[in-house]
Structure 1
């Protein structure tokens, strides 16, 4: 039996712990806070009332960017992140965005391709981690 997933807006501060745990556990928690967090739209996926996945959406005119997409390791591969990303793509569209992009870890490129995002430009690195910009028209 799969637990029901609920997705709802959350505050930026509610994303920090999961961002830290999943994306940059070797850094301080300050490392995962964004200067423009206050201007973003933040969403959480909850299973049994517990926050298990987070994503932050930033819209600038007709272009949207999502950042700091993190799903608890024990909840990955269960479709939770996919539900959350679908929600954010639709929210960006509803907010008037015509294009969306992210800087994806290269290891996750196939995941983003499944949502129609395609690589743009060359790989780049944050520390030792390879990234690729992924984008699509909405």
Structure 2
């Protein structure tokens, strides 16, 4: 009987390989590290004890931000990333955050919109990639 995917906390260093593979494969590994990774909470979803998606959560008072959300390409479209995002929303609520936001790649904005996130502000670029800030008021 297959085991259900499991979400669990992981160290920041455990996120780097997936961040690199999925988000910035053409950049050096150091590019995917966040300056305040040590202050974040990092979660991974495991399928058959293999890490297949990662996300990093940073809570600062009433505001929460998630960053470096990456799902292995062969595992996308299977609900794993959705489960991980819902977990982070719940964790932000548990820590009394009132809003959660991210800088979303513009081509992923539709995914975040399915969770009630709304675009805020103008499109901006990181290198050649278009981004938009997406936010959601937590209840």
Shorter-chain TM band: over 0.9
Find the counterpart in structure 1 of residue 14 from structure 2: 14
Give a deviation string over 1:80-135, Cα, whole Å, max 9, x none.
Answer: 00000000000000011000000000001110000000000010000110000000
Find the counterpart in structure 2 of residue 96 from structure 1: 96
Q: Do residues 4 (structure 1) and 4 (structure 2) align? A: yes
Between Structure 1 and Structure 2, how many residues are aligned? 138
SS in 2 for 1:109: helix
Q: Displacement, 1:3?
A: 5.2
Gaps of 5+ in 1: none
1:39-118 aligned at under 5 Å gives the runs 39-118=39-118
Give a deviation string over 1:4-48, Cα, whole Å, max 9, x none.
Answer: 110000000000000000000000000000110000000000000
Runs of 4+ in structure 1 over 2 Å off? none
RMSD between superposed Cα atoms in Å: 1.1
Q: Displacement, 1:51?
A: 0.1
SS in 1 for 2:56: strand
Find the counterpart in structure 1 of residue 31 from structure 2: 31
Normalising to structure 1: TM-score of the pair?
0.98
SS in 2 for 1:35: coil
